[in-house]
Amino acid sequence: MGALAIKNVTKSFGDTDILKGINIDIDAGQFLILVGPSGCGKSTLMNIIAGLEGPTSGEVHIGDRVVNNVAPKDRDIAMVFQSYALYPTMNVRQNIAFGLETRKVPKAEQDEIIARVAKMLQIEHLLGRKPSELSGGQRQRVAMGRALARNPKLFLFDEPLSNLDAKLRVEMRAEIKQLHQRLKTTIVYVTHDQIEAMTLGDRIAVMKDGVIQQFGSPQEIYDSPANLFVAGFIGSPSMNFIPCHIAEQGGVLGVALQGEGEPVFFALPERLNVQGRVGQAVILGLRPEQFDQADAGGVACRIRITEPTGPDTMLLSQLNGRDIIARVHPRHAPAAGELCSLVPDLRKAVLFDPETQTRIG
């Protein structure tokens, strides 16, 4: 049974189309990520799911009912906000209890729920404090506790980690994932951070300009991005885009890459299906980790800058006149200014049409 289905949802403000026909369908217990740059419509879509805004057209299903005309409080959802949205004049206990009181849950049951949630999130010692007396991470926990107290069918997280510092963000990310594995509820999670999207999601919807660019599992999106935007947005450092032409050499189809010196021919795997495209311009997409250093068989590149990150070293260079980044093992990394032979691993390479920007193989 589907837990959440969004069918042809559009949203316009005057002449501006914010969402242009969104279709998403996820199963109960799945972790859906809505990811995209600012202004892509992901927060609007979240508000439509929550019922805080209405769609211009289309349907939203939660469970097995259409909720277009159902008020937020009757949708059986709970939401965690970027700014935590704790009620400033109430202490932690009152914050969690407010929704229960509003729904007229008996007092004894309220206490039981608060105790259970506080134990789960380890905020028992904070129950008497005001939000202003809590750290960012503690506020985040309380906001999650308030959502958990409802025990809803659907959890909505609106960029919940954006206001935390880097270390805390990684910790809370792991906790949210653990919570999801334990509770097995359906979660919709909005973020602009592609690392959160990759690490947390079962299903990712990459959005841009009110359109879902690709909807799939994290690995699908990473390995087979639907277009140049998705390929560039997911992954850090982002995918290298190298313009080239399909060529034939000795009965094998491939591309020529040129760094410092003569162009070198590399065969493309048959998977890419480029028969009949000989002579056509394409964009070759290669992840930074799909380069290797080798003594022979590579293309000579002049290294402009090196960026050691510890486990890897990033090499900034150029191929076919375009800046590229290669991720190599630090032990043999060349220094800036040196020549280095890079071998592209084309087994996982992808090709894009430079006109339509979509993937062709």
Nearest to 232 by CA among 211, 268, 208: 208
Of 65, 103, 119, 329, the one binding other proteins by CB under 8 A: 103
Closest distance of CB 79 from other proteins, Å = 5
**Contact pick of 2, 98, 193, 238 for other proteins (by CB under 8 A):** 98
Find how far residue 141's CA is from the centre of its chain: 22
Structure tokens at 314: 């990033």
Residue selected from 50, 204, 255, 264 as contacting other proteins according to rule CB under 8 A? 50
Q: How far is the CB of 146 from other proteins (least distance, A)?
A: 8
Report the candidate in 209, 164, 203, 185 with the shortest Cα–Cα distance to residue 45.
209
* Of the residues 8, 23, 52, 165, which one makes contact with other proteins according to CB under 8 A: 52
Q: How far is the CB of 199 from other proteins (least distance, A)?
A: 24
Any contact of residue 276 with other proteins (CB under 8 A)? Answer: no
Binding other proteins by CB under 8 A: which of 72, 128, 308, 337? 72
Amino acid at 66: V
Q: Which of 163, 164, 97, 92 is nearest to 131 (CA)?
A: 92
Question: Which region among 5-13, 73-81, 119-127, 295-303 touches other proteins (by CB under 8 A)?
Answer: 73-81
List C-alpha distances in Å: 130 to 95, 138, 144.
9, 11, 16
Pattern 285-324, binding to other proteins, x per CB under 8 A?
----------------------------------------
Contact flag: residue 79 with other proteins (CB under 8 A):
yes
- Give the distance between the most distant pair of CA atoms in the chain: 81
Q: Does 89 bind other proteins (CB under 8 A)?
A: yes
Out of 19, 40, 45, 77, point to the residue binding other proteins (CB under 8 A): 77
Among 14, 88, 250, 311, binds other proteins (CB under 8 A): 88
Segment interacting with other proteins, rule: CB under 8 A, options 80-88, 107-115, 198-206, 330-338? 80-88
Separation between Cα atoms, residue 33 and residue 25, nearest integer Å: 12
Determine which helix (DSSP H) or strand (DSSP E) holds 360, and give its type and residue range: none
Only one of the segments 69-77, 165-173, 260-268, 315-323 lies at the binding site for other proteins (rule: CB under 8 A); that segment is 69-77
Tell the smallest beta-carbon distance from residue 91 to other proteins (Å): 12
Residue 63 as a binder of other proteins (CB under 8 A): the answer is no
Cα–Cα distance, 300 to 319 (Å, whole number) = 9
Smallest separation, CB 74 to other proteins (Å): 8
Q: Which two tokens stand for residue 339?
A: 């020549």
What is residue 346's DSSP assignment?
G
Is the separation of the CB atoms in 157 and 176 below 8 Å?
yes
Which residues, numbered 133-192, are part of the site for other proteins (CB under 8 A)?
Answer: 146, 158
Q: Edge-to-edge strand order for the sheet containing 211-216?
A: 77-80, 154-158, 186-191, 31-35, 203-208, 211-216
Among 27, 57, 73, 223, binds other proteins (CB under 8 A): 73
Q: What's the closest the beta carbon of residue 168 comes to other proteins, in angstroms?
A: 20
- Euclidean distance between CA atoms 281 and 277, whole angstroms: 9
Give the number of other CB atoms < 10 A from CB of residue 50: 19
| 291-293 sheet: strands from edge to edge | 291-293, 339-344, 299-302
Residue 185 burial (CB count, 10 A): 20
Closest CB to other proteins among residues 133, 323: 133
Tell me which residues touch other proteins (CB under 8 A).
Answer: 47, 50, 52, 72-73, 77-79, 81-83, 85-90, 98-99, 102-103, 146, 158
